[in-house]
Amino acid sequence: MRLYHNPRCSKSRQALALLLERDLEFDDYRYLEHGIAEEDFELLLGMTGIVRPQEIDKSIQFDPNNKPQLRKLLQDNPKALQRPILIKDGRAVIGRPPENILDLLD
C-alpha cells in the first residue's frame, strides 16, 4: 500500500493520520522528492481528476485523455499530481476528502 503524500498539504496529512490511527503498514511516498513511481503510472493515468490544474503554468496545454501527454506532464511537474492518493492492490483513490482512502481499506 502506497500513500502519495505531500506533508505541506492538510488533506494529505489527514489521510496519513487515518492510516496511522489504524496502525496500517504503508509506504509514505513523498512524490515531490522522488517523482511518481514508474509502476504506478498506468493506474494513475487512468484516474479522473488526477491533475491539479492550479499547479500548472497557464501556458502549458494538455489533454487529460492523452495518456502519453499526461504522463510527460506529471513526470515534468510532479507537483501537478492530485494529492493525497492511496494505492492498494491495483486500485487507487484520491483522498479528497481524506476519508475517501478508507474505501480501499475494506
Sign of the dihedral defined by the CA atoms of residues 63, 69, 71, 73, in that order: negative
Starting at the earlier edge strand, list the strands of the sheet with 85-88.
27-29, 2-4, 85-88, 91-94
Which residues are known catalytic residues? 9
